[in-house]
Chain A
């Protein structure tokens, strides 16, 4: 029982916005679609939801072909970036609307709505309009509506991007608990790598509609499959050294250390980050970013070093990892 995308693709005006994408999300697994804007992650979500039709490939839910099933019959629990709550209806009516159009009987409607209101602890908001509750509360209502759909698959489209950073961190564990509780596959779209790493069991990194790498957060960080993934995952950004022909060597700023013996470098700029500091150094390899402890005093001329086994190697032409 799971969600399977088999070689799906979608094009708009002859441009492929998603191409040859295959994913497999098992029950109770949260898969994040991660990438910069325009990478096709939201388009992929719309394909799964049935809001757009794929131009190629198949979508299977629990081994049944859902490719041509209309969104009305698809049983998708979706949380929109905008939350898409009906502004003219109270929270209670927002939640009841779906049950009503699906013809659930009155007692059942009431029982289920009261149940999700209590799961999400929003009983007090039942008679308020969406305009009169906070962003975090709106997100809960949107989530409650998705739960009420009794879905086969959960789709979350940047569900936290309208919340402030502090609230986002607070909500992550709770959101994960609630959506994974039912044991359905969850697809989570985000452009924020921290959020992806916190929320997802596995992450699919997309670029220009093509899957760059599908792996656990740890694998993505430790052995990125391409230069793009290496640069996209991990902050501050990884250093790319191109002094060897056809090979790009990458080294993370946090893997470089200051030492008595090593590469001579000149400090160009530094940024204090609280628990550590980010240095930008001029070296024979070019400009390098280095992360070091916050309490070290940095002089203008310093020596740096790193161990060979922390280096990542990529083919400069194909941009892919060389092992």
Chain B
């Protein structure tokens, strides 16, 4: 009976996720491009061999990993602070909550265009501020060493509210009694944060991190609009590289291989963060009597 009730959802998920994945796996073992006349021609794993030896794939993997890990970490830290502030009772809290969600509600392409202007040299406000303060102009969006940080800043600006919202829901699920009991036990507010708030937020943090990791690993629109992957491919994500292979070079076989490759990386990243965040709880409990 239980299995029967689960069937519709299982079938739906299999259709939406399973079939494309299997199709990708199938395509990735074939040459499938303009050269083959858009016919599937088996090529004995040549795509995968190419992937392993593809410098650009590894460079993009590095870029995607550093982009995702830095932006998700900063977002998490900021979001915890914001959620703690929004959880307090103060005048104007409701309106602040609403305003703080605005960045998240903005379409990515619009906000990416906005940030491109903000970082524009010499017309953007950042450069203007540099001029006023007396710092020498740096071409933020054309310096391969720092452009990726600009994309992290834009991503943090946009998605921190989303994490803050999830964590705020988590904070509000913690009964006030627990904090009062802890105070009566002699606990200080900072101890309450580490002994009660953080552990009880754990499932919400895990949810937010997994959500955001998946999004950040597949980042495409932000990069495409803000930098187009440049300068010198320094901000190119795996999704962007796969897109270029399919849409510019019309090599669907290799594009599918890239997508599958980044999918495996994402699964590994999710499992790693799940293990790290889960371990945190066990450390809190005492050894047996």
Residues of B contacting A74 with CB < 8 Å? Answer: 184
Q: A96, A101, A149 — which one has the most chain B CB atoms within 10 A of its CB?
A: A101
Chain B's nearest CB lies how many Å from the CB of A131? 13
Indicate which residue in B180, B185, B199 contacts A102 across the interface (CB closer than 8 Å). B185
Q: B184, B187, B191, B200 — which one has the most chain A CB atoms within 10 A of its CB?
A: B184
Indicate which residue in A82, A90, A102 contacts B285 across the interface (CB closer than 8 Å). A90
1/0 per residue A108-128: CB within 8 Å of B?
000000100100000100110
1/0 per residue B135-152: CB within 8 Å of A?
000000000000000000
| Majority-rule SS of B interface residues | helix
Residue B288 interfacial (CB < 8 Å):
yes
* A side interface size, CB within 8 A: 31
Residue B289 interfacial (CB < 8 Å):
yes
Q: Are A71 and B200 in contact (CB-based, < 8 A)? A: no
Indicate which residue in A93, A101, A145 contacts B284 across the interface (CB closer than 8 Å). A93
Q: Are A72 and B183 in contact (CB-based, < 8 A)? A: yes
Q: Are A98 and B185 in contact (CB-based, < 8 A)? A: yes
Residue B37 interfacial (CB < 8 Å):
no
Q: Are B175 and A101 in contact (CB-based, < 8 A)? A: no
Q: Are A96 and B181 in contact (CB-based, < 8 A)? A: no
Q: Using a CB-CB cutoff of 8 Å, which residues 39-85 of chain A contact chain B?
A: 49-51, 71-74, 76, 78, 80, 82, 84
Q: Are A84 and B180 in contact (CB-based, < 8 A)? A: yes
Residue A87 interfacial (CB < 8 Å):
yes
Residues of B contacting A322 with CB < 8 Å? Answer: none
Q: Are B285 and A145 in contact (CB-based, < 8 A)? A: no
**Size category of the binding interface on chain B:** 20 to 34
Q: Using a CB-CB cutoff of 8 Å, which residues 157-214 of chain B contact chain A?
A: 175, 177-178, 180-188, 191, 195-196, 199-200, 202
Residue B54 interfacial (CB < 8 Å):
no
Q: Are B196 and A86 in contact (CB-based, < 8 A)? A: yes
Closest 10 CB pairs of A and B: A98-B185, A84-B181, A84-B177, A102-B186, A88-B199, A101-B187, A71-B183, A93-B286, A126-B289, A93-B285
List 30 interface pairs A-B (beta carbons < 8 Å), by A numbering: A49-B184, A50-B184, A51-B183, A51-B184, A71-B180, A71-B184, A72-B183, A72-B184, A72-B186, A72-B188, A73-B186, A74-B184, A80-B177, A82-B175, A86-B195, A87-B200, A88-B284, A89-B285, A90-B286, A92-B286, A93-B284, A98-B185, A98-B187, A101-B188, A123-B289, A126-B289, A127-B288, A145-B181, A149-B184, A149-B185
Chain B interface (Cβ < 8 Å from any Cβ of A): 175, 177-178, 180-188, 191, 195-196, 199-200, 202, 281, 284-286, 288-289
Chain A interface (Cβ < 8 Å from any Cβ of B): 49-51, 71-74, 76, 78, 80, 82, 84, 86-90, 92-93, 96-98, 101-102, 114, 117, 123, 126-127, 145, 149
